[in-house]
Structure 1
């Protein structure tokens, strides 16, 4: 590799444009070499201030562009499987935003394709693993001082949902982060899902089942509950409390600026995930660039992406049926054994 890792960014929407900014202005050791988006004007606008970047509508053309040594996928989830497989055939390291692949069948095909290579190429973008508060909670739980984790209480709130958001997407898009965070924090697979549906909020669009209460069971008997409310109206909030045998620990209480004036006080609440998790995204991408330049792949794996898709799919079935749905994972390839190395 040259002095700077040449990255093709696939997708120039809200997330992709932010990653382009991050690669050029925040992260060291990398540059944007190509960008692809079906909207060519949006793609051009996303790199208007940069030089030496080729712009494409076809993602595979971006993979083959001069100077491309790695890929950051920030396109919509249904497009991920095809470009992941294309990157694998070219031997290109990948950072893929979540969901890796929305459907469990497609996610399994990605697992099988990477396993056939016999080496890891992809890291999946579950950036909460890079958030300072989540990392402190993980360290605390792993140390064992509070005893065995019994429950995780999680909150996931958005100001409002996009026009295209469906009831199923509260589970397979929003809660997918909690799915991975729970697996990672507890070191356990999730084995069953139940989704409860209170009367929808008057602030939710017609027909959208919002909020929802999602309950996960784990392989060693812990419970994880998630309140997901994507039209709360006041801000973006993510919280998690671990309740253990000898104590509890909570993260996500906003330690932000408090403004006092006019006889009152007002505490700022983040309005967007790119604000709340800005440092986590920076740390995640920097870690990926550094590992790629060393010839390694670290961070959440394709198996983690697959497991999240399977659990989310079970969650959607639970939402639709109103019942408890078991999670059934395929056999895990040896490549994803936690004891395996990270070199590629």
Structure 2
């Protein structure tokens, strides 16, 4: 079966996913496109999916009998409405993060999917598909004993001037929030935020860097450094300290050189390059499940938990170092 996919939102990530589906992956093709900027959708049609139909609205695309499954890659504030529409139509839906911009919105998605009685939603937490994280999880699960501590860092070379303090959680650390919970098979119970002195490239509306400290239900203590103006490159680090050993996320492969009286290797500067292979694996997983009328991978529940945790972390940014509790509802059996 070839899964007929419609893409809602044809900006950078939507365009890239459309290219991936039509030119790299197997088992699916792009048959429909929609964007509030019609010219953007028409450009993707011309360049990547010449046989696709351009729809005036995302809702019209979802309702089309020619569409089997939906990719939501539009502006974050629109995700909830399109995912809800896809569930109501009974169509598998891949939604880039965030699932919704509020925990309440994510809960509405969870409730509708639970009521439908079958998983239909996969959230775009692509790090679970990264080869390095997959290898790290295998070691954490089987070789180093119970995790005691995690030291992680998320460093960007620079961010736009409109990037402000809460975005360090919602736009940046959201990936650590999901992948560390998956890595440890654990849930968070509290969050604290501490600030060192501000970096020179920070500004009045951005406290940078910051350190988020998460405690889990099993007692693991996690510290995540978020440094979005580190200047030197895009650098993702993760070290898990277990009862019997320590495991580190491998750096991306790079050629080591001895050049100009220095020993050196290049560091990536673009997040898309760091995780480019994981997007292929992620979407192929979605296509495989969609062919069976369902979804796999990160779920609506994972998106909901990430939203609850993010809200707690943002509250902790203004709590002067005090711990903010993270309370989760009972997980529905659909997601167990």
Smaller-chain TM-score range? over 0.9
Measured after TM superposition, the shift of residue 140 of structure 1 is 1.3
Q: Secondary structure at the match of 2:166?
A: helix
Distance 1:164 1:42 in 2: 24
Equivalent residues in 2 for 1:220-235 (5 A)?
220-235=218-233
What does residue 95 of structure 1 align with?
94
CA distance 1:163–1:22, shift in 2 (3 Å): farther
The answer to which of 75-84 and 198-207 deviates more is 198-207
What does residue 127 of structure 1 align with?
126
Measured after TM superposition, the shift of residue 43 of structure 1 is 2.0
What does residue 117 of structure 1 align with?
116
Measured after TM superposition, the shift of residue 188 of structure 1 is 0.7
Distance 2:133 2:325 in 1: 27
What does residue 211 of structure 1 align with?
209
TM-score, normalised with respect to structure 1: 0.93
Measured after TM superposition, the shift of residue 44 of structure 1 is 1.9
Q: Secondary structure at the match of 2:205?
A: coil
Equivalent residues in 2 for 1:211-290 (5 A)?
211-290=209-288
CA contact under 8 A between 1:156 and 1:228: conserved in structure 2?
Answer: yes
Match of 1:15 among 13, 16, 22: 13
Distance 2:224 2:101 in 1: 20
CA contact under 8 A between 1:189 and 1:219: conserved in structure 2?
Answer: yes
CA contact under 8 A between 1:39 and 1:57: conserved in structure 2?
Answer: no
Measured after TM superposition, the shift of residue 94 of structure 1 is 0.7
CA distance 1:19–1:76, shift in 2 (3 Å): same
Quote the RMSD (CA, aligned, Å): 1.6
Equivalent residues in 2 for 1:62-81 (5 A)?
62-65=61-64, 67-81=66-80
What does residue 333 of structure 1 align with?
332
Distance 2:118 2:274 in 1: 34
Residue 57 of structure 2 corresponds to residue 55 of structure 1: no
Equivalent residues in 2 for 1:180-199 (5 A)?
180-199=178-197
CA contact under 8 A between 1:242 and 1:250: conserved in structure 2?
Answer: yes
CA contact under 8 A between 1:20 and 1:47: conserved in structure 2?
Answer: no
What does residue 342 of structure 1 align with?
none
Distance 2:220 2:25 in 1: 38
CA distance 1:280–1:75, shift in 2 (3 Å): same
1:59-96 residue CA offsets vs partner (Å, 9 max, x unmatched): 11222345211011112222111111100111110111
CA contact under 8 A between 2:91 and 2:293: conserved in structure 1?
Answer: no
Distance 2:258 2:11 in 1: 37
Please, which runs of 5 or more residues in structure 2 have no aligned partner? none
Q: Secondary structure at the match of 1:48?
A: helix
1:200-245 residue CA offsets vs partner (Å, 9 max, x unmatched): 2111244211111000000010011111111112211111111001
CA distance 1:141–1:85, shift in 2 (3 Å): same
What does residue 42 of structure 2 align with?
44
Measured after TM superposition, the shift of residue 21 of structure 1 is 1.3
Q: Secondary structure at the match of 1:153?
A: strand
What does residue 5 of structure 1 align with?
3
Please, which runs of 5 or more residues in structure 1 have no aligned partner? 338-344
Distance 1:312 1:135 in 2: 23
What does residue 315 of structure 2 align with?
317
1:103-136 residue CA offsets vs partner (Å, 9 max, x unmatched): 1111111111111111111011111110111111
Measured after TM superposition, the shift of residue 299 of structure 1 is 0.7
CA contact under 8 A between 2:168 and 2:226: conserved in structure 1?
Answer: yes
CA contact under 8 A between 2:92 and 2:293: conserved in structure 1?
Answer: no
State the number of aligned residues.
334
The answer to which of 249-258 and 183-192 deviates more is 249-258
Distance 1:149 1:44 in 2: 50
Match of 2:156 among 135, 155, 158: 158
CA contact under 8 A between 2:97 and 2:124: conserved in structure 1?
Answer: yes
Measured after TM superposition, the shift of residue 263 of structure 1 is 4.2
CA distance 1:163–1:69, shift in 2 (3 Å): farther
